[in-house]
Amino acid sequence: MSKAIILFGHGARNPDWAQPFHRIRASMERQQPGVLIELGFLELMRPTLDEAIDGLVARGANEISIVPIFMAAGSHIKKDLPLMVGSALDRHPDLAVEIAAPVGEADYVIDAMAKYALN
């Protein structure tokens, strides 16, 4: 039994766009060494969410928490993501997947963004 976390992002054409995602992963690894983390993108960047899930299952994960690194839940989170997760569960019937609320909805993330905007 092994748990993993996927940071789910939108993706963009410019490779620099992924930098904050790599920084979030690095910060998580500092806060909790040994945690199994993968990035997974909706479009335009690799690995895709499908590739991230399949790769983690291949490494032994049977529980995956998907954390949307989005400001808020729009149609990508409410419609596209559940469809992608449904398809992954068809491929991996023993996998458990949890979809978290978007990171932009967490109180202390809100407060950190407010602090930044004031400076």
Residue 95 exposure: Cα atoms within 13 Å on the Cβ side: 25
DSSP lists the bridge partners of residue 6 as: 38, 66
DSSP lists the bridge partners of residue 68 as: 8
DSSP lists the bridge partners of residue 8 as: 40, 68
Cα 9 from chain centroid (whole Å): 6
- Shortest Å, Cβ 4 to a copy of itself: 12
Of 10, 22, 76, 92, catalytic: 10
| Residue whose CB is less far from a copy of itself, 3 or 50 | 3
| Residue whose CB is less far from a copy of itself, 93 or 114 | 114
Q: CA triplet 92, 104, 100: central angle to 5 degrees?
A: 25
Q: Binding residues for a copy of itself, per CB under 8 A?
A: 5, 7, 9-10, 12-14, 16-21, 23-25, 27-28, 31-32, 35, 37, 67, 69-75, 78, 100, 103-106, 108-118
Instruction: Give yes or no: 92 in active site.
Output: no
- Shortest Å, Cβ 95 to a copy of itself: 19
39 touches 52 (CB < 8 A):
yes
- Shortest Å, Cβ 91 to a copy of itself: 24
**Catalytic residue set:** 10
